[in-house]
Amino acid sequence: MSYDKLNTQTLILSSMKRTLLLLVCLVSIGIAQAQDTIPEPPPGTVSAKIYTHFNYSLDPDNNSTAFEVKRAYFGYKRKLDDHFVAEVKLDIGSVDDDSEYALIRRYAYFKNAYLGYNFGKFQTWFGLMDMLQFKVQEKFWGYRYLYRSYMDEYKFGSSADLGAGIQYSPSKLITTDLVLSNGEGYKSLQFDNKYRVGLGLTLNPSPSLTLRAYYTIHTSEVPQMIFSGFVGYRYKKFRIGGEYNHQLNFRFNEDHSRFGYSFYSTYVFTNKWEVFARYDKVLSNILPEDDNPWNLANDGSALLAGVQFTPIKYVHLSLNYQDWVEYAQNGDSEPFLYLNIEIVF
């Protein structure tokens, strides 16, 4: 990489950092306007989510079957006054490895530990906070307890990280957000002085249509960048969404790209019954000296389809089919039948 190109990227990143810090400082000016007598804040809210399931392999060569509790969240959130809010949340889940003890080991992490400040049309966060890069997509998809949203599932970015963020909503039609974070995710400490800067724009031109574009750069001599676009449409009891994501210089390896798309749709019959389907594709580029994509072993497509039943507000049950098909020659197919349960309280 040439010196001029690297210097230009450094100047752009420094400008974005200064802009974020300036915005946070401007919003924080409201702190000085607080009254001398501060009323006692209302009681906080305790929350919990539990994701559990039973799976059964449909592959005749694989008789795998299991009951699992994949994840549980426990949190406490308190509004401190008309502007300040604080939240702490634990994420307890299974490890992502293939060892013989993976199904019985559990790790607990702080997923959230932040202070938030709301001032008019601005919202700011500081600490271990949720990332905003795929929040809109995750909410539109609506079935996090079954399958994570695209960027989360395929490691394009973490759902939470240490940093600072600001969101500005001048009207119901437009929302912008800017985040500066460590870039390591909430399960890792920061090991270097590299940072990730993300800039997002969400448009709602009508109550039925949602558009979002997002760009992030993770600083390094070979910076890692992500471009993302999303379109979601709702019509009465039907919704459909699609997103495309492109990651350049994966893990700071020059010219190593990953990209792909996801489509998902839901039809709601009643307040208790709905059906859904989703299709993902994950690809990597072919390097000049190679004949196959550099990440072929992890390239593939995912298919989900099923029904959800909501007996009460706090419980969701889903019977669904999930399959992962590898793109490598003679790659495996992994079809499973799942019974998933989400408990929220």
Report residue 271's pLDDT band, with 50, 70 and 90 as the boundaries. Answer: very high
Inside any domain, residue 42: no
Least confident of 89-98, 159-168, 260-269, 297-306: 89-98
Least confident of 36-45, 54-63, 156-165, 245-254: 36-45
Inside any domain, residue 290: yes
Inside any domain, residue 106: yes
Total domains in the fold of the chain: 1
Residue 19 has a pLDDT of: 52
> Backbone phi, then psi, for 313, in 5-degree steps?
-55, -30
Inside any domain, residue 218: yes
DSSP one-letter string for 256-324: --EEEEEEEEEEESSSSEEEEEEEEEEEEPPPTT-SS-TTGGG-EEEEEEEEEEEEETTEEEEEEEEEE
Residue 259 has a pLDDT of: 98
Q: pLDDT over 70 for what percent of the chain?
A: 84
CA-to-CA distance for 314 and 303, rounded, in angstroms? 27
The boundaries of the domain holding residue 152 are: 3-30+50-344
pLDDT mean across residues, the chain: 88
Asked if the model's pLDDT at residue 152 lies above 90, the reply is yes
Question: Considering Cα of 130, then 132, then 133, then 139, what sign does the dihedral take?
Answer: positive
Report residue 104's pLDDT band, with 50, 70 and 90 as the boundaries. Answer: low
Region label for 300, one of left (φ > 0), alpha (ψ between -120 and 50) or beta (otherwise): left
Inside any domain, residue 39: no
Residue 328 has a pLDDT of: 83
Inside any domain, residue 253: yes
CA distances 133 to 15, 82, 232, 249, 318, Å, are: 20, 27, 15, 18, 27
Inside any domain, residue 72: yes
Inside any domain, residue 128: yes
Beta bridge partners of 275: 267, 307
CATH number of the domain that residue 200 is part of = 2.40.160.10
Q: What is the pLDDT of residues 115-151, one digit of tens each?
A: 999 999 999 999 999 999 999 999 999 999 999 999 9
Least confident of 130-134, 184-188, 191-195, 259-263: 191-195
